[in-house]
């Protein structure tokens, strides 16, 4: 089965190629790109398109590799033993399955998303090499070996906060989601708002791209912000004519709160607009 | 097959290993990127390159390789994608189509034609948005009536095969590029990472409880402290042709300042002598004796020189050689440099001139020797190398 994008997700040909090659050759697919360019959504859409169960493992700075396999809740067991709970006899009661185990345990081929792997500490990816290669691991407490019934499709996202180890990278296929060009973004808008008035969409896109060009912005708005902003414009019935001024340095876009999240960026735009108005008067 | 590309990638410093190369071969075997150079380009990138910082190098290597094979000897081109084209064709064509192909002169004829088109296209390259014609009955037309409708390049949508790797979209992401405002963030991230390393350990309550419960006896655990331990002494060469680079570097460290435990910076002109300056105006009154630096900052400070290391050799070796050495010192710059090397545990020199030019200046070689070869280019990659050593 091939991944070909979905009704809700616009995938470029390169992205489709990367996904399909990774699936066919059973390699984890590492996805990077600006925030909000659909990295996380991709895994969800692959699962949807291939009708596969999805398991998402969100990584935090404190996440350890073994938590993806299982966790042994020794504290509860100690407590139960003091309370004389009979469950204590069976260690399996205290083993909590991690996301990897859950994905391994699916009868159908699952999609496993390891989201934001760069949040974890430097050793994290290396600690998973063996499990990702062999698709199995050992549970010391019970002596059993867990093997994937079906090798899951593994998608890994990173926001580049840390460098990933070479040994890990060699095992992955890699795709960098470049910020969408205008036609692609137009398509993304169309899948989200099929009935949107074309002049409104066109002006909104003009403004959006201009805004991304404003120098010194702390955070450029990205696809996800554009989608949120359009939703507000549509909900408030903002007409295309309200977006007549495309240069955000001259007039702040209506409902800009969805596009610009940083207080400093808002101030920057306000200052630019103010200077522009004053120049216009003087 | 295609092994020349592998070598070209390596000479362009794209770090590809055999493992990844075999992945690419396996994907080709599975008919990915069938007969479409553009897809081949993307497939190769997705399997071989694991870091967007290397995309630019990859594109250049790819272009060099394909230009090279097309230029030197068209028959070479046949050898490269041809094996792969030929195989794919044989598998794809129905018997009927094969018969038709035979009537048109066979596969060899077709491939020859393909190369000819490629050559023509190169000549018209300037305005050409298509690599191989896509029109009507051309054997290369994407939807043509010719049974050989070989899809090379664009499928109508205005995509251009050659262009993909000629656009150099990823130049700004290359870790090897000069420190510019564009890759400033990248460099800053590396520097911050460096600043956070080397932290001391602190008591870890959760891990201790966990381990204690597991073992049923007290088992105390520690974890690295979140707090920063690195101290930096930055010495910047100012007042020369490299000022812009130095300023970027200064801004870079300035931006990461909060992450370091201490960050001190001073200026020098060309080389280090008996005194340095507190600010970049190089005014007499703002000087501080180099011997004071040695007294004030202990051996734990990581010393980072930034400068082009280009000067007359006597400015290093001779007493009074430095034009700005007003101290009337009795010693050459070299002596001062050695003193710094002896006092501090870690010293590096960051150089804004590209590494491949270092061999041309005598003074560069001398300084590299003085700094135990720890001279690195002032690029994000160079910075990583330097900080990796400093953090050791
Ligand atoms: N190619 C696309 N097709 C359709 N919608 C998209 C696409 N790219 C982004 N979006 C929209 O942007 C939103 C954000 O995407 P997502 O959360 O996957 O981004 P991300 O890259 O994971 O961001 P982050 O780095 O912040 O985690 C999606 O919910 C969707 O609305
Ligand atoms: Mg995400």
Query: What are B187-223's pLDDT values in tens digits?
Result: 777 777 776 654 445 566 777 777 767 766 666 666 6
Check whether residue B312 and residue B383 sit in a common domain.
yes
pLDDT tier for residue B109 given thresholds of 50, 70 and 90: low
Residue B177, in any domain of the structure = no
CATH number of the domain encompassing residue A29 = 3.40.50.300
CATH number of the domain encompassing residue B294 = 3.40.50.410
Residue with more model confidence, B311 or B365:
B365
Report CB contact under 8 Å: B32, A178.
Answer: no
Is pLDDT above 50 for B139? Answer: no
Q: Which of A25-34, B44-53, B320-329, B351-360 has the lowest mean pLDDT?
A: B320-329
Total domains, chain B: 4
Residue A258, in any domain of the structure = yes
**What is the predicted pLDDT for the residue at A82?**
83
Check whether residue A186 and residue A173 sit in a common domain.
no
- Torsion sign, CA atoms A50, A54, A59, A64: negative
Helical ranges in chain A per DSSP H = 13-24, 39-49, 66-69, 74-83, 99-104, 124-127, 129-134, 166-171, 182-192, 198-213, 223-235, 263-281
Check whether residue B124 and residue B234 sit in a common domain.
no
Q: Among A142-146, B179-183, B357-361, which range has the highest average pLDDT?
A: A142-146
Tell me which residue has tokens 């960050």.
B263
CB of A36 within 6 A of ligand 1: the answer is yes
Residue with more model confidence, B147 or B68:
B68
**Which residue among A7, A35, A36 has the greatest number of ligand 1 atoms within 8 angstroms of its CB, and so is best to mutate?**
A36
pLDDT tier for residue B122 given thresholds of 50, 70 and 90: very low
**What is the predicted pLDDT for the residue at A131?**
92
- A157, A177, A197 - which closes a domain: A177
Residues of B in contact with A170 (CB under 8 A): 17, 19-20, 50
CB of A39 within 6 A of ligand 1: the answer is yes
**What is the predicted pLDDT for the residue at B127?**
31
Check whether residue B274 and residue B219 sit in a common domain.
no
**What is the predicted pLDDT for the residue at B159?**
31
Q: Which residue among A13, A30, A78 places its CB closest to the CB of B213? A: A78
Report CB contact under 8 Å: A25, B27.
Answer: yes
pLDDT digits (tens, 9 = 90+) for B330-342: 788 899 999 999 9
Check whether residue A125 and residue A186 sit in a common domain.
no
Is pLDDT above 50 for B3? Answer: yes
**What is the predicted pLDDT for the residue at B160?**
32
Check whether residue A39 and residue A123 sit in a common domain.
yes
Q: Among A89-98, B14-23, B121-130, B278-287, which range has the highest average pLDDT?
A: A89-98
* Three-state DSSP class for residue B39: helix
Residues of B in contact with A176 (CB under 8 A): 52, 55
Check whether residue A170 and residue A203 sit in a common domain.
no
Is pLDDT above 70 for B261? Answer: yes
pLDDT tier for residue B102 given thresholds of 50, 70 and 90: low
Residue B75, in any domain of the structure = no
Return the bridge partners of B350, or none. B306, B376
Residue whose CA is closest, atom 16 of ligand 1? A38
Residue with more model confidence, A261 or B179:
A261
Residue with more model confidence, A41 or B315:
A41
pLDDT tier for residue B246 given thresholds of 50, 70 and 90: confident
Check whether residue A47 and residue A154 sit in a common domain.
yes
pLDDT, average across residues B174-194: 66
pLDDT tier for residue B113 given thresholds of 50, 70 and 90: low
pLDDT tier for residue B297 given thresholds of 50, 70 and 90: very high
Taking the alpha carbons at both ends of chain B, their separation in whole angstroms is 42
Check whether residue B266 and residue B372 sit in a common domain.
yes
Ligand at minimal distance from the CA of A222 is 1
Check whether residue B246 and residue B356 sit in a common domain.
yes
**Which residue among A193, A224, A232 has the greatest number of ligand 1 atoms within 8 angstroms of its CB, and so is best to mutate?**
A224
Q: Which of A215-229, B57-71, B363-377, B378-392 has the lowest mean pLDDT?
A: B57-71
Residues of A in contact with B214 (CB under 8 A): 72, 74
Residue whose CA is closest, atom 11 of ligand 1? A224
Total domains, chain A: 2
- Strand ranges for chain B from DSSP E: 201-203, 222-224, 231-237, 262-268, 275-277, 287-289, 302-306, 346-351, 375-377
Report CB contact under 8 Å: A32, B20.
Answer: no
Residue A8, in any domain of the structure = no
**What is the predicted pLDDT for the residue at B100?**
61
- Calpha distance A145→A282 (Å, rounded): 78
Stretches where chain A sits below pLDDT 70 are 280-282
Check whether residue B249 and residue B316 sit in a common domain.
yes
Residue A69, in any domain of the structure = no
Check whether residue B240 and residue B373 sit in a common domain.
yes
**What is the predicted pLDDT for the residue at B40?**
85
Check whether residue B236 and residue B222 sit in a common domain.
no
Is pLDDT above 70 for B17? Answer: yes
Check whether residue B40 and residue B7 sit in a common domain.
yes
Which structural domain, as residue segments, surrounds residue B23? 3-70
CB of A159 within 6 A of ligand 1: the answer is yes
Check whether residue B34 and residue B22 sit in a common domain.
yes
Report CB contact under 8 Å: B46, A75.
Answer: no
Residue A93, in any domain of the structure = no
Answer whether A133 touches B (CB < 8 Å). Answer: no
Residue B87: how many other CB atoms lie within 10 Å: 15
- B11, B46, B70 - which closes a domain: B70
Q: Which residue among B30, B52, B216 places its CB closest to the CB of A176? A: B52
**What is the predicted pLDDT for the residue at B384?**
83
Check whether residue A194 and residue A268 sit in a common domain.
yes
Residue A79, in any domain of the structure = no
Check whether residue B140 and residue B278 sit in a common domain.
no
pLDDT tier for residue B285 given thresholds of 50, 70 and 90: low
- B70, B103, B128 - which closes a domain: B70
Which of 23-62 (B) contact A at CB < 8 A? Answer: 23, 26-27, 30, 32-33, 39, 42-43, 46-47, 49-52, 55
**What is the predicted pLDDT for the residue at B361?**
82
pLDDT tier for residue B268 given thresholds of 50, 70 and 90: confident
Residues of B in contact with A18 (CB under 8 A): 42, 46
CB of A41 within 6 A of ligand 1: the answer is yes
Answer whether A275 touches B (CB < 8 Å). Answer: no
pLDDT tier for residue B366 given thresholds of 50, 70 and 90: very high
Report CB contact under 8 Å: A170, B213.
Answer: no
- A146, A177, A208 - which closes a domain: A177
Is pLDDT above 80 for B358? Answer: yes
Is pLDDT above 50 for B161? Answer: no
Check whether residue A145 and residue A243 sit in a common domain.
no
Report CB contact under 8 Å: B209, A75.
Answer: yes
Check whether residue A156 and residue A266 sit in a common domain.
no
Check whether residue A138 and residue A226 sit in a common domain.
no
**What is the predicted pLDDT for the residue at B82?**
52
Which of 173-202 (A) contact B at CB < 8 A? Answer: 173-176, 178
Question: How many residues are there in chain B?
Answer: 392
- Strand ranges for B307-392 from DSSP E: 346-351, 375-377
Residue B77, in any domain of the structure = no
Cα nearest neighbour of B191 on chain A:
A162
Check whether residue A58 and residue A144 sit in a common domain.
yes
Nearest to B383 by CA among B199, B238, B256: B256
Check whether residue A194 and residue A257 sit in a common domain.
yes
Residue A61: how many other CB atoms lie within 10 Å: 12
Is pLDDT above 70 for B147? Answer: no
Answer whether A13 touches B (CB < 8 Å). Answer: yes
**What is the predicted pLDDT for the residue at B4?**
74
Is pLDDT above 60 for B136? Answer: no
Is pLDDT above 60 for B323? Answer: no
Cα nearest neighbour of B188 on chain A:
A161
**What is the predicted pLDDT for the residue at B126?**
32
- A140, A156, A177 - which closes a domain: A177
Q: For chain A, what is the radius of gyration of the CA atoms?
A: 24
Is pLDDT above 90 for B251? Answer: no
Report CB contact under 8 Å: A169, B32.
Answer: no
Check whether residue A209 and residue A161 sit in a common domain.
no
- Give the CA diameter of chain B: 93
**What is the predicted pLDDT for the residue at B346?**
92
For the range B197-204, what are the long-range contacts, defined as Cβ-Cβ under 8 Å and sequence gap of 24 or more?
B197/B230, B197/B391, B198/B229, B198/B230, B198/B391, B199/B224, B199/B225, B199/B226, B199/B227, B199/B228, B199/B229, B200/B224, B200/B225, B200/B227, B200/B229, B201/B225
pLDDT, average across residues B18-39: 81
Which structural domain, as residue segments, surrounds residue A271? 182-281
**What is the predicted pLDDT for the residue at A10?**
94
pLDDT digits (tens, 9 = 90+) for A207-217: 999 899 887 78
Check whether residue B40 and residue B135 sit in a common domain.
no
Report CB contact under 8 Å: B19, A77.
Answer: no
**What is the predicted pLDDT for the residue at A229?**
94
């Amino acid at each position: 089965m091939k991944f070909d994008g979905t009704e809700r997700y616009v995938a470029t040909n390169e992205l489709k190629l990367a996904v399909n090659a990774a699936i066919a050759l059973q390699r984890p697919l590492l996805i990077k790109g600006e925030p909000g360019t659909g990295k996380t959504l991709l895994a969800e859409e692959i699962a949807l398109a291939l009708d596969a169960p999805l398991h998402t493992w969100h990584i935090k700075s404190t996440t350890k590799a073994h938590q993806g396999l299982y966790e042994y809740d020794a504290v509860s067991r100690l407590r139960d033993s003091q309370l004389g709970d009979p469950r204590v006899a069976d260690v399996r009661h205290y083993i909590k399955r991690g996301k990897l185990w859950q994905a391994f345990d699916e009868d159908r081929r699952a999609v496993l998303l390891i989201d934001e792997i760069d949040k974890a500490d430097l050793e994290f990816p290396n600690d998973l090499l063996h499990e990702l290669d062999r698709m199995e691991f050992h549970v010391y407490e019970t002596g059993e070996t867990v093997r994937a019934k079906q090798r899951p499709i593994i998608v890994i996202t990173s926001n580049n906060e840390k460098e990933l180890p070479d040994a890990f990278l060699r095992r992955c296929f890699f795709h960098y989601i470049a910020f969408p060009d205008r036609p692609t973004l137009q398509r993304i808008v169309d899948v989200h708002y099929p009935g949107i008035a074309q002049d409104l969409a066109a002006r909104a896109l003009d403004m959006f791209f201009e805004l991304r060009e404003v120098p010194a912005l702390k955070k450029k708005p990205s696809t996800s912000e554009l989608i949120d902003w359009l939703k507000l414009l549509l909900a408030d019935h903002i007409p295309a004519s309200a977006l007549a001024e495309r240069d955000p340095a001259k007039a702040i876009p209506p409902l800009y709160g969805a596009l610009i999240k940083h207080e400093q960026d808002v101030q920057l735009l306000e200052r630019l607009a103010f200077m522009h108005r004053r120049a216009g008067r003087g | 097959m295609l092994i020349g590309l592998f070598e070209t990638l390596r000479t362009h410093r794209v770090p590809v290993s055999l493992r990844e190369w075999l992945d690419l071969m396996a994907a080709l075997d599975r008919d990915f990127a069938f007969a479409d150079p553009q897809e081949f380009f993307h497939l190769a990138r997705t399997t071989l390159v694991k870091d967007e910082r290397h995309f630019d190098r990859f594109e250049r290597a790819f272009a060099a390789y394909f230009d090279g094979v097309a230029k030197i000897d068209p028959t070479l081109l046949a050898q490269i994608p041809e094996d792969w084209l030929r195989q794919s064709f044989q598998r794809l064509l129905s018997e009927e189509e094969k018969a038709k192909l035979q009537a048109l002169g066979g596969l060899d004829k077709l491939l020859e034609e393909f190369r000819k088109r490629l050559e023509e296209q190169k000549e018209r390259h300037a305005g050409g948005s298509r690599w191989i014609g896509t029109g009507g009955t051309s054997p290369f037309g994407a939807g043509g009536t010719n049974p050989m409708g070989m899809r090379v390049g664009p499928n109508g949508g205005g995509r251009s095969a050659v262009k993909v790797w000629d656009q150099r979209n990823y130049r700004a992401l290359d870790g090897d590029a000069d420190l510019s405002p564009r890759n400033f963030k990248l460099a800053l991230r590396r520097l911050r990472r460096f600043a956070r390393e080397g932290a001391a350990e602190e008591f870890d309550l959760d891990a201790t409880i966990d381990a204690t419960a597991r073992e049923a006896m007290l088992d105390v655990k520690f974890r690295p402290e979140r707090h920063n331990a690195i101290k930096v002494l930055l010495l910047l060469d100012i007042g020369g042709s490299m000022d812009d680079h130095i300023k970027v570097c200064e801004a870079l460290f300035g931006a990461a300042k909060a992450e370091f435990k201490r960050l001190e910076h001073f200026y020098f002109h060309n080389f280090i002598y008996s005194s340095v300056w507190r600010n970049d105006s190089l005014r007499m009154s703002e000087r501080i004796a180099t011997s004071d630096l040695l007294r004030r900052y202990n051996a734990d400070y990581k010393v980072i020189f930034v400068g082009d290391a280009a000067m007359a050799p006597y400015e290093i070796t001779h007493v009074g050689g430095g034009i700005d050495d007003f101290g009337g010192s009795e010693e050459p710059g070299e002596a001062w440099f050695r003193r710094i090397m002896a006092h501090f545990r870690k010293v590096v020199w960051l150089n804004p001139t590209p590494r491949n030019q270092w061999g041309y200046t005598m003074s560069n070689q001398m300084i590299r020797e003085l700094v135990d070869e720890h001279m690195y280019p002032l690029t994000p990659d160079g910075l990583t190398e330097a900080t990796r050593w400093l953090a050791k």
